[in-house]
Chain A
Amino acid sequence: MTEFLQQLLNGLSLGAIYALIALGYTMVYGVLRFINFAHSDVFMVGAFIGYFAGRHLPQGSVTSGLMALACAMAGCAVLGIAIERLVYRPLRAGPTLNVLITAIGMSLFLEYTGQLVFGATPRAFPPIFPTRVIALHGLIVSTNQVIVIVVAFVLMVALEFTVHRTKIGTAMRAVALNPKAAQLVGINIDVVISFTFGLGSALAAAGGVLYALNYPSIDPLMGVVPGLKAFVAAVLGGVGNIPGAALGALILGMVETFVDGSRWSTYKDAIAFATLIGILLFRPAGLLGRFTAEKV
């Protein structure tokens, strides 16, 4: 029973990180109908900003941890907006495929620029938050896991609030529903899209810092695998659907954790992807996705 609860907790914290990345994929898809493959590398840049910020801040205090997190989120929001403005916007009028290919190019650009600037050698991420391990009747809870889950939860609630309760959120949903009609009623799509990229990138940065906090070895290619998993999670939940992305990420995190803890750990990714195929066979639009309803 303790082992089951422990795995549940492990799965929850892994899923929470996937969720933060998956949200960025799904939001951009909802608004622009294309997959921003560079998103997983924004996640990596977030971890590196957290790394450099963390080295200049006193270690092991909640304030400095939150400051490093804020630095990374702000830095990546700017990066995300810049990428959209400089790279994707000039191509927006063309076929979606062009932007998609450009996104892959952007992803490689960030990865290899990262190797050039930061070096390819893994670095040890500083313990920016105070770390403690709490034992509860045999269940081991590390404060890092708690921080990941709490921060992810708070950010997702804030996102839900932004999308459904604010003016810019309403505009985002309008653009997602029908960009032309949104423009006709006076919404500046450029601003909305920039905002979406900024928001998604900030969440990815938070994911990057939390990921690095839990697995303190970072390198320029660290975003590739979690990025792929998060993309799968977004599709699993119904791409374009925000609660769907969170749910998909949670399911993926759980499946991976439980397979990893079993005798079949060799087939972890195979089983995770087989689950995806199984779900998509029965629900082609993903768990919460609908083909016609409002997106984002």
Chain B
Amino acid sequence: MFRLLRPLSGAVAAAAALSASNVFSQETIKIGEYASLTGKEAAFGQSSHKGTLLAVEEVNAAGGVLGRKLELITEDNQSKQGESATIVKKLISRDKVVGILGEVASMRSLEAAPICQAYRVPMVSPSSTNPKVTEIGSYIFRVCFTDRFQGHVLAKFAKDTLKIRRVAVLTSVSSAYSVGLARHFDERFAADGGVVAVEQKYTEGDKDFNAQLTAIKAAGVEGVFVPGYYTEAALICKQARELGIAVPLFGGDGWEAPELVEIGGAAVEGTYYTTHYSPQVDVPAVRSFVAKFQARFGGETPDAMAALGFDSVEVMADAFRRAGSVEGPAVRDALAATRDFEGVTGTTTMDRERNASKAAFVIMVKDGRFAFVQSIAP
């Protein structure tokens, strides 16, 4: 009798455990996030991650999606090449996530995108602006503008607002973002009758730019365009000012981090960059986002990366709702059909290339703070 019962009770326990795990997986929708939480672009990764986290908490507080809670699984790629691919494979195959969020840097999004495409897991990049990212495949989306647009906006701003005719460009050859942004800037600036007098290159991680800047100084330009990330941009501004280059310096959304001012100090005063959002813009969505972010993260004012991280979750959650399921193909179709979605960084409508077209904001560094100058619509 006992002999008969024992295996039976074992089976009951196993069945109970199985159903418990079923209930668990029914309860949460797993979303994977790969982010540069440490390393060179950590300021971006951290900001974006905070925005992402806030959005997930908000969605869950409001009852979740499809009656289920979102579960965010975040992995750090240390801002290193090669890590993102490994992490995303792990998120998809081991953690069984149904959506991927990331990255801020285009070069790392380009690493992860082919994997998401191959596994048919929709990926939404919050702030990778290089056009190639979404060209990887039909499952890759972004909630920010592309560098084609950003490059054109910067060219227009340089010519119309700064009144620059001769410009120098200092590009990072090892960053897809920097190379792409420089190319789109160049084509528009030249088309509008400007002259790119000199084009100099550096590599990610370089610290000495004196040689390139000396050549730029000798070329006698009216402005220097630095499409790169804040770590190098701050050092470039510093060394440029030390060499006596007094003309305006400007860059793209890769500049926006507190480190720009921390490392650059007085040298970054009066420089300009374009970005996706400004906390100073007075609309209800931005106001409430800033207030919630500050309450959650100790008074910190959210930057563009945080706002885009926030919007990436909102857009994905919206797609889950409209798809009515979390199956890859259904979510993909819902994402592609995103129309007039009101987010913190403006209205998101996915175009045929799965990019969001949005206005760009021009920011100026003034007294160590980021001051809103103007917004330029697509």
Contacts and interface: CB of A to CB of B under 8 A. Distances in A.
Interface stretch (B5-13, B39-47, B62-70, B145-153): B39-47
Contact of A217 (B79, B214, B231): B231
Given A121-B38, A217-B234, A14 B208 contact: yes
A244 B57 CA distance: 61
B205 A133 contact: no
B208 A214 contact: yes
Contact of B38 (A119, A215, A225, A261): A119
B235 A217 contact: yes
A53 to B, nearest CB: 19
B210 interface: yes
Contact of A261 (B214, B244, B259): B214
A114 B333 CA distance: 45
B356 to A, nearest CB: 29
Interface in A240-296: 256-262, 265-266, 268-269
Contacts of B43: 121
Contacts of B42: 120-121
B242 A133 contact: yes
Contacts of A260: 200, 202, 208, 211-212, 215
Contacts of B218: 2-3
B78 interface: yes
B207 A215 contact: yes
A3 B43 CA distance: 36
Contact of B40 (A6, A122, A124): A122
A216 B263 contact: yes
B351 interface: no
Contact of A219 (B40, B215, B238): B40
Nearest to A9: B210
Contact of A142 (B202, B212, B242): B242
Choose among B205, B214, B217, B218 the residue with the greatest number of A CB atoms under 10 Å from its CB: B214
A15 B158 CA distance: 36
A142 B240 CA distance: 12
A140 B242 contact: yes
Main SS at interface, chain A: helix
Contacts of B259: 122, 124
Interface in B238-268: 238, 242-244, 259, 262-263
A162 interface: no
Place the interface of chain B in its size category: 20 to 34
A115 interface: yes
Interface string A111-138: 0000100011110100000000101000
B5 to A, nearest CB: 53
B244 A135 contact: yes
B210 A10 contact: yes
A7 interface: yes
B215 A120 contact: no
Contacts of A121: 38-39, 42-43
B203 interface: yes
B214 A10 contact: yes
A121 B173 CA distance: 22
Nearest to A219: B40
B212 A261 contact: yes
Given A216-B263, A265-B212, A269-B203, A120 B79 contact: yes
Interface in B276-305: none
B207 A217 contact: yes
B297 to A, nearest CB: 17
Given A14-B208, A122-B259, A265-B200, A215 B215 contact: no
B201 interface: yes
Contacts of A257: 208, 210-211
Contact of B235 (A115, A215, A259, A262): A215
Nearest to B243: A140
7 contacts: A6-B217, A214-B207, A216-B235, A216-B238, A219-B40, A257-B210, A260-B212
Given A135-B244, A214-B208, A261-B212, 11 more contacts: A3-B214, A115-B38, A121-B39, A121-B43, A122-B40, A217-B207, A217-B231, A222-B207, A257-B208, A259-B211, A261-B215
Interface of A: 2-3, 6-7, 10-11, 14, 115, 119-122, 124, 133, 135, 140, 142, 211, 214-217, 219, 222, 225, 256-262, 265-266, 268-269
